Amino acid sequence: MKILLDESLPRKLKMDFGVGNEVWSVSDKGWLGKKNGELLKLMIADSFDLFVTVDQNLQYQQKIEKLL
C-alpha cells in the first residue's frame, strides 16, 4: 500500500506502518505548503492509496468524489 502522511504529522510516524507499505510524507514528496485540493490531486496522480491527516474538516472542504 502506498501511504501519504500529511505535513502536520511527525515524520517518524512512517515507521509505524510496517515493512509491507511504502510510506511517504508530504515533505518527502516536496509538497510542503500545498493547499488540500492541490495536495489531493497530486496524491491521486502519484497513485497513493491512503492519505493520513489529522484535518477533521477535510471532508467538508473538498469534494473527494469529484477527484476520483
Q: CB neighbours (10 Å) of residue 24? A: 16
Low-confidence winner among 1-5, 9-13, 44-48, 57-61 (lowest mean pLDDT): 57-61
Q: CB neighbours (10 Å) of residue 4? A: 23
Residue-level pLDDT at 39: 85
Under 8 Å between Cβ of 47 and 56: no
The range of the structural domain enclosing residue 27 comes to 2-67
Number of domains in the chain: 1
According to DSSP, residue 20 is labeled T
Please give the grid coordinates belonging to residue 56: 477533521
Q: What is the pLDDT of residues 18-65, one digit of tens each?
A: 889 999 999 999 999 888 778 888 988 999 998 888 765 555 555 555
